Amino acid sequence: NRLELLMRHALLSDGFELFYQPILDRERRLQSMEALLRLRDGDGRMVTPTLFIPVAETSGIILPLGNWVIQQACRQIRSWQLAGHRVVPIAVNVSPHQIAQPSLSTDVQVTLEELELDPALLHLEVTESSVMLHPIVALENMEKLSGLGIQFSIDDFGTGFSSLDRLHQLPVSTLKIDRSFVSRMMDANGTRPIVITVISMAHALGLSVIAEGVETEDQFSTLCEMGCDLFQGFLFSRPIPATEAVPLFG
């Protein structure tokens, strides 16, 4: 497989890069950023993660790759801190195989200790379905990591089969409403009731809500009226390289 070879090579030769997409509060102040993986192919073109993440999952590359992503995000925050910037937490996507690895919590802890990084500066995003793949190990990892002070969010919320009972048991602080709900929110007979319900349920459970895929001022003001806490999307910024993120720290 061509993508698999490309990824193995990229892991050894600095071929992966993290981009960062800002997550803002209601006053449009920067609160955190999501790290999004990018891969350059032999011709210097970007390959989209929706193409290579599934191959990484099935080939097992996701484990060393996932480790690299966490380490790279942590090294990036540390180097921004050492350069004197007022940093915000970085949210890293954790794949189904990663959260099912018994060694994950120790690996992350070692990374944080080596860098002397405050665990509160690392957020982890998991999906409901990835937690359900190996619920016992996943829950153990999440409990250990949140015990260290790492916050968890549920990514793509609403797209899988939600078990409200399970959600209630997980140590998570935030739900991310999937962008498919945000994009159809303003349509007649659209997803507006779903968005309202997710926000009110999240708040009832003591969780905060990030709306993904916010593209218009109309969506933003409607989400604000609904009480949504945090916002991410092309309206504010696309995912950007690390160098372009620096001015955002103010």
Binding site for Na ion (CB under 5 A): 156, 212
The one segment of 5-13, 17-25, 136-144, 150-158 that binds Mn ion by CB under 5 A: 150-158
The token duo for 160 is: 């899988």
Element (H, E) at 122: strand 122-127
The nearest distance, CB 94 to ligand G, in angstroms, is 6
Which of the ranges 5-13, 99-107, 116-124, 232-240 carries the binding residues for ligand G, by CB under 6 A? Answer: 232-240
Rule CB under 6 A: choose which of 37, 99, 117, 245 binds ligand G: 37
Listed residue (215, 159, 228, 157) closest to 186, CA to CA: 215
User: 34 or 117: whose CB is closer to ligand G?
Assistant: 34
Using DSSP, state whether 220 is helix, strand or coil. helix
Q: How far is the CB of 34 from Mn ion (least distance, A)?
A: 6
Categorise residue 38: left if φ over 0, alpha if ψ from -120 to 50, beta otherwise: beta
> d(Cα 72, Cα 76) in Å, to the nearest integer?
6
Q: Which residue from 28, 48, 83, 205 is in contact with ligand G, where contact means CB under 6 A?
A: 48
Point out which span in 108-116, 143-151, 191-199, 208-216 binds ligand G (CB under 6 A): 208-216
Cα separation, 211 vs 197, in Å, equals: 13
Q: Which of 6, 7, 56, 125 binds Mn ion (CB under 5 A)?
A: 125
Does 64 engage in binding with ligand G (CB under 6 A)? Answer: no
Residue ranges of alpha helices (H) inside the chain are: 2-12, 49-59, 62-82, 96-99, 104-115, 128-133, 135-148, 164-169, 179-183, 192-204, 217-225, 242-245
Tally of CA atoms within 13 A in the half-sphere of 32 that contains its CB: 22
Q: Which stretch binds ligand G (CB under 6 A): 80-88, 112-120, 231-239, 241-249?
A: 231-239
What Å distances lie between residue 113 and 33, 105, 134, 151, 170, CA to CA?
22, 12, 27, 17, 25
Does 215 engage in binding with ligand G (CB under 6 A)? yes
Residue 22 near ligand G by CB under 6 A: no
Of 30, 33, 39, 69, the residue at the interface with ligand G (CB under 6 A) is: 69
| Beta-carbon contacts of residue 93 (< 8 Å; ≥ 6 apart) | 34, 35, 36, 37, 69, 125, 155
22, 16 contact by CB (below 8 A): no
Nearer to ligand G, 58 or 83 (CB): 58
According to the binding rule CB under 6 A, does residue 129 interact with ligand G? no
Any contact of residue 233 with ligand G (CB under 6 A)?
yes
Q: Which is nearer to ligand G, 48 or 82 (CB)?
A: 48
Q: Which residues bind ligand G (CB under 6 A)?
A: 21, 36-37, 48-50, 53, 69, 93, 95, 155-156, 179, 212-215, 232-234, 239
Residues in contact with Mn ion by CB under 5 A are: 93, 125, 155
